Amino acid sequence: MATKLLVSRAAAKTLNQILRPSLVDFSLFSYSATSQCLRNLHSFVSERFHFLKSDRIHPCNSRTMVRCSIPRYDNTEAISTDENADTRVPATVITGFLGSGKTTLLNHILTANHGKRIAVIENEFGEVDIDGSLVASHSSVSEDIVMVNNGCLCCTVRRDLVKMLLELARKKRDKFDHIVIETTGLAKPAPVIETFYTDELVARYVKLDSVVTLVDCKHAMQHLNEVKPRFVVNEAIEQVAYADRIILNKIDLVNETELEALMKKIKHINGMAQIKKATYGAVDIDFVLGVGGYDLDRIESEVQLDGSHSLTQHHEAGHDHHEGHHHNHTHDSAVSSVSIVSEGVLDLDEVDDWLERLIDEKGEDLYRMKGVLSVSGSDERYVFQGVHSMLDGSPGKAWGPDEKRINKLVFIGRNLDETALRKGFKGCLV
Ligand SMILES: Nc1nc2c(ncn2[C@@H]2O[C@H](COP(=O)(O)OP(=O)(O)OP(=O)(O)O)[C@@H](O)[C@H]2O)c(=O)[nH]1
């Protein structure tokens, strides 16, 4: 197994300013402090709240942490005049099953004319560095390999991933604008995502932009339907579940009916990700870079749920209809999405309590969640996003004077209890 890091010079562009990283203040709290922490969520009106209670995300990770932090920026270090500017380097994680087209997409990113200089961290099984030569044959990056490591990104080399990210962000920051990490076909995305939140230095210098999942249209259904032994993760499902962007690749190898069935299956698992069909990973670069999938400012555009869409999926799943919400739970997979679209005003204290309880009880099974909320006593939307037990929330854009205040929430996870989620939401309405 080899993990290597490349810095692409394919699209050179000069950074006008080398913005030095801002400081994130991580204060360690005791477990009991989380409650207070969440209860105070709405009081951080102008500052982003970031809550982290991370445990058991990955079998390799046995520690339990409770942290609460408000990112802030150290003026002595930051060159930017805007003290709230997020100057961290964005990173995109490309995942997808073996042979789904990850390297093909990477080549597309490296050779497309987008003006961004890309640093690549590539993780490959096998002694021979095959993907490196493939990438190199399509661009002039072969001489830019700066690190080589062994292991699988999701397990043994997570430490190496941290090292590489820090090396890039601290020492080579002026040489690139964006980091792309290509995981092995078998890598589970959770530990890679977790790295951006649990490692304080990484969180200080690098921000996760998005998880892009490649799906091989010809073989994906077989992998998604594969029944694994108990406690064994189906990587194909996990990769779809964590995605912000899904590329249905190799559409040239399937017919419309097969494509339709696959699309339906994928939406059942992940009702939040934007999906594009492609051959040879050829998608607009904007679709994969600069997504802001974990960015609170972008949550609203990411949570594009409307009642009609929801009900359609709900119907497909063969369950009772409930006005204004749906769940696309499938019986053949424990991983599914639950979406709630509802008018009404919420009590933010109740929301804090509800979400706190939820992540306390179900954090391990909650892969992703995002929401735009209408809360009492505020003219602004309240937005939140989370991964497992990490929850990040803050006030967002103001509601328009004649705008309908519609709450939109989506949860993706394992064994989601749609009825309980709906009840929990209703319990927060004033
Ligand atoms: N027919 C067809 N072949 C494709 C398409 N995209 C990629 N391929 C081919 O599929 C094979 C695998 O593509 P890669 O990009 O290497 O896939 P990968 O996900 O990086 O593979 P691993 O690193 O083994 O996990 C290559 O031969 C590609 O040329 C497509 O849209 N259509």
What digits encode the pLDDT tens for the residues 240-255?
A: 999 999 999 999 999 9
- N- to C-terminal Cα distance for the chain? 55
Ligand 1, atom nearest to 250 Cα: 31
Atom 25 of ligand 1, residue of closest alpha carbon: 98
In a domain, 183, yes or no: yes
Cβ 195 under 6 angstroms from ligand 1? no
Ligand 1, atom nearest to 249 Cα: 31
Q: Which two tokens mark 364? A: 């391990």
Ligand 1, atom nearest to 100 Cα: 19
Q: Is the pLDDT of residue 2 over 90?
A: no
132-166, pLDDT tens digit by residue? 444 433 333 333 333 334 555 555 557 778 888 88
Q: Are residues 276 and 361 in the same domain?
A: no
Cβ 58 under 6 angstroms from ligand 1? no
Cβ 252 under 6 angstroms from ligand 1? yes
Beta strands in 250-400 (DSSP E): 274-277, 325-327, 335-343, 366-374, 380-387, 390-398
Atom 21 of ligand 1, residue of closest alpha carbon: 99
Q: Are residues 332 and 209 in the same domain?
A: no
Cβ 103 under 6 angstroms from ligand 1? yes
> Distance between CA 304 and CA 292 in Å, rounded?
15
Distance 379 CA to ligand 1 centre (A): 48
Quote the DSSP letter at residue 392. E
Distance 148 CA to ligand 1 centre (A): 23
CB 218 within 8 A of CB 253: yes
Mutate to test the pocket of ligand 1, among 103, 188, 248 (most ligand atoms within 8 A of CB): 103
Q: Is the pLDDT of residue 409 over 50?
A: yes
Please report which confidence band the pLDDT of residue 299 belongs to, taking 50, 70 and 90 as the band edges: confident
Please report which confidence band the pLDDT of residue 398 belongs to, taking 50, 70 and 90 as the band edges: very high
Give the residue from 232, 267, 294 where a domain finishes: 294
Ligand 1, atom nearest to 182 Cα: 20
> Distance between CA 249 and CA 282 in Å, rounded?
9
Q: Are residues 380 and 251 in the same domain?
A: no
Contacts of range 357-362, beta carbons closer than 8 Å, 24 or more positions apart: 357/424, 358/421, 358/424, 359/53, 359/386, 359/388, 359/389, 359/391, 360/53, 360/389, 362/413, 362/416
> Distance between CA 403 and CA 361 in Å, rounded?
35
Distance 317 CA to ligand 1 centre (A): 32
Helices (H), 211-269: 220-225, 235-241, 256-269
Which phi-psi region, left, alpha or beta, contains residue 392 (left: φ > 0; alpha: ψ -120 to 50)? beta
Q: Are residues 272 and 399 in the same domain?
A: no
In a domain, 422, yes or no: yes
> Distance between CA 287 and CA 285 in Å, rounded?
5
Quote the DSSP letter at residue 92. E
> Distance between CA 180 and CA 70 in Å, rounded?
27
Ligand 1, atom nearest to 253 Cα: 1
Q: Is the pLDDT of residue 79 over 90?
A: no
Which phi-psi region, left, alpha or beta, contains residue 166 (left: φ > 0; alpha: ψ -120 to 50)? alpha
Cβ 99 under 6 angstroms from ligand 1? yes
Query: How many structural domains is the chain composed of?
Result: 2
Distance 291 CA to ligand 1 centre (A): 23
CB 247 within 8 A of CB 212: yes
In a domain, 40, yes or no: no
**What is the mean pLDDT of the segment spanning 62-86?**
38
Mutate to test the pocket of ligand 1, among 104, 123, 181 (most ligand atoms within 8 A of CB): 104
CB 67 within 8 A of CB 55: no
Q: In CATH, what number is assigned to the domain containing residue 149?
A: 3.40.50.300
Give the residue from 273, 294, 315 where a domain finishes: 294
Ligand 1, atom nearest to 134 Cα: 16
In a domain, 166, yes or no: yes
Distance 215 CA to ligand 1 centre (A): 10
Q: Are residues 290 and 373 in the same domain?
A: no
Cβ 101 under 6 angstroms from ligand 1? yes
> Distance between CA 157 and CA 151 in Å, rounded?
5
Q: Are residues 144 and 279 in the same domain?
A: yes
**Could you give the 3-state DSSP secondary structure of residue 280?**
coil
The pLDDT, as a whole number, for residue 26 is 24
Cβ 185 under 6 angstroms from ligand 1? yes
Please report which confidence band the pLDDT of residue 191 belongs to, taking 50, 70 and 90 as the band edges: confident
Going by their DSSP bridges, the two strands 206-216 and 89-96 should be labelled as parallel
Q: Are residues 185 and 288 in the same domain?
A: yes
> Distance between CA 181 and CA 244 in Å, rounded?
15
CA angle 154, 159, 164 (to 5 degrees): 100
102-115, pLDDT tens digit by residue? 999 998 998 888 88
In a domain, 47, yes or no: no
Q: Are residues 277 and 324 in the same domain?
A: no
Q: Are residues 157 and 11 in the same domain?
A: yes
Give the residue from 294, 320, 346 where a domain finishes: 294
Q: Which domain holds residue 153?
A: 2-17+83-294
In a domain, 25, yes or no: no
User: Is the ipTM above a cut-off of 0.95?
Assistant: yes
In a domain, 41, yes or no: no
Cβ 100 under 6 angstroms from ligand 1? yes
Q: Are residues 215 and 272 in the same domain?
A: yes
CB 212 within 8 A of CB 243: yes
316-352, pLDDT tens digit by residue? 333 333 334 444 433 345 899 999 999 999 999 999 9
- CA dihedral of residues 71, 207, 204, 144 (deg, nearest 10): -160
CB 192 within 8 A of CB 181: yes
Q: Phi, psi (5° rounding) for residue 316? A: -60, -35
Distance 100 CA to ligand 1 centre (A): 5
Q: Please state the length of the chain.
A: 430
Q: Are residues 161 and 182 in the same domain?
A: yes
Distance 214 CA to ligand 1 centre (A): 10
Q: Are residues 192 and 123 in the same domain?
A: yes
Atom 32 of ligand 1, residue of closest alpha carbon: 250
In a domain, 64, yes or no: no
Distance 411 CA to ligand 1 centre (A): 31
Q: In CATH, what number is assigned to the domain containing residue 313?
A: 3.30.1220.10
CB 429 within 8 A of CB 367: no
> Distance between CA 397 and CA 264 in Å, rounded?
32
Cβ 328 under 6 angstroms from ligand 1? no
Cβ 132 under 6 angstroms from ligand 1? no
Distance 43 CA to ligand 1 centre (A): 49
